[in-house]
């Protein structure tokens, strides 16, 4: 299957699952292919045939964007090296959860979350430690008795009850012993934090030297500006006071490529519920599909975040009225 067909299939599946999906980020470089929202769940999705193509730099950018946009970064892929990804298993690459299309279908269409995740050494599941302790005590079994039944140490059983996860083999043995489900699903939409101890949000890159003046003006206007390297926008800017007002920010000469980026920013903004602005040297129009166009000289005249918000709102409304 071609990557384009795979992207189309995944997009159609997300729409069938009730997600509003952005236009595809058909530009390079790109950290994610589409943004998708269903209710309060927002995901940024990278779609790959071979997940080995997902490198550290892209993983770090997706995790940063997840933090800024309050979204879950996610990779949907078919295989790794020469092996197909197993269904109903969550993998990880550079701190980002990875699912096969079948696993994504079960999660988003069937509402069946995966129970298994891959980690160094094999496949594992979440054990409900409190439930395990209750089942053991109901049978009046000691830690030692259960350890003997499982062929592990007493200390290991104690760790299971304290929340340590177990191999599939141990989980199956436990469920056979107690004739009860003792596992809990992997919460992919919260980044699967309960099974994956990712590092803190990776450090931000330096702003492009060509963008430093724009960054300085936005900072003076009361924004925290987070530069990006692999996105349709140059930065994600958050209002300093509360971080609630988020603006996707672009900057370049106004060319056909810039217009394409501005359209993608608009589509992403509608899904992520953010505003978008593109700073240019000269503009002959107010906006592109809702992304406000702002000349550099106009930007320098802005006093605060309210001014920028008003400009974006006015120019978007003018385009809608035209």
What is the mean pLDDT of the segment spanning 171-185?
87
The most confident of the ranges 9-23, 141-155, 211-225 is: 9-23
Classify residue 176 by burial, with Cβ atoms within 10 Å: 0-12, 13-18, 19+: exposed
Task: Tell me if residue 273 falls in helix, strand or coil.
Answer: coil
Check residue 98 and give its pLDDT: 96
Tokens (6 digits) for 223? 């924004």
Q: Which of 266-280, 281-295, 297-311 has the lowest mean pLDDT?
A: 297-311
CATH placement of domain 3-114: 3.40.1350.10
What's the predicted TM-score (pTM) here? 0.89
Q: Which residue has the higher pLDDT, 195 or 255?
A: 255
User: What is the distance of C-alpha 109 from the center of its chain?
Assistant: 19
What is the mean pLDDT of the segment spanning 2-18?
95
> Which superfamily does 123-184 belong to?
lambda repressor-like DNA-binding domains (1.10.260.40)
Tens of pLDDT, residue by residue over 107-163, are 999 999 999 999 888 899 988 889 999 999 999 999 999 999 999 999 999 999 888
What is the mean pLDDT of the segment spanning 81-94?
91
Mean pLDDT of the chain: 90
Per-residue pLDDT for 276 more than 60?
A: yes
What is the C-alpha to C-alpha distance for residues 145 and 135, in angstroms, rounded to an integer? 13
Tokens (6 digits) for 8? 């189309």
Per-residue pLDDT for 3 more than 60?
A: yes
Per-residue pLDDT for 200 more than 90?
A: no
Per-residue pLDDT for 320 more than 80?
A: no
Per-residue pLDDT for 29 more than 90?
A: no
Q: Which residue has the higher pLDDT, 73 or 322?
A: 73
What is the C-alpha to C-alpha distance for residues 88 and 59, in angstroms, rounded to an integer? 22
The residues facing 235 across adjacent strands are 227, 249
Check residue 158 and give its pLDDT: 92
Tokens (6 digits) for 130? 């409190």
Tens of pLDDT, residue by residue over 37-46, are 999 999 999 9
């Amino acid at each position: 299957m071609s990557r384009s067909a795979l992207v189309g299939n995944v997009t159609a599946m997300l729409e069938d699952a009730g997600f509003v999906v952005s236009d595809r980020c058909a530009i390079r470089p790109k950290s994610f292919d589409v943004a998708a929202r269903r209710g309060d769940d927002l995901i940024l999705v990278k779609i790959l045939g071979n997940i080995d193509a997902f490198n550290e730099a892209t993983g770090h950018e997706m995790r940063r964007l997840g933090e800024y946009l309050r979204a879950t970064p996610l990779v949907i892929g078919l295989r790794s090296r020469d092996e197909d990804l197993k269904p109903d298993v969550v993998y990880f690459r550079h701190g980002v959860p990875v699912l096969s299309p079948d696993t994504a279908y079960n999660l988003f269409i069937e509402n069946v979350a995966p129970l298994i995740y891959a980690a160094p050494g094999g496949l594992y599941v979440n054990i409900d430690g409190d439930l395990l302790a209750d089942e053991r005590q109901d049978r009046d079994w000691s830690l030692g008795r259960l350890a003997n039944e499982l062929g592990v140490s007493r200390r290991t059983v104690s760790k299971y009850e304290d929340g340590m996860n177990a191999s599939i083999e141990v989980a199956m043995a436990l469920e056979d012993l107690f004739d009860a489900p003792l596992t809990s699903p992997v919460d992919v939409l919260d980044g699967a934090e309960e099974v994956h101890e990712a590092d803190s949000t990776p450090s931000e890159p330096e702003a492009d030297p060509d963008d430093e003046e724009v960054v300085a003006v936005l900072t003076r206007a009361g924004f925290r500006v987070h530069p990006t390297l692999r996105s349709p926008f140059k930065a994600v800017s958050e209002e300093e006071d509360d971080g609630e007002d988020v603006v996707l920010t672009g900057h370049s000469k106004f060319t056909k490529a810039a217009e394409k980026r501005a359209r993608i920013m608009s589509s992403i903004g509608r899904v992520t519920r953010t505003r978008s602005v593109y700073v240019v040297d000269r503009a002959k129009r107010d906006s592109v599909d809702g992304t406000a166009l702002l000349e550099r000289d106009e930007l320098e005249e802005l006093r605060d975040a309210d001014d920028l918000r008003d400009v974006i709102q006015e120019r978007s409304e003018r385009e809608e009225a035209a």
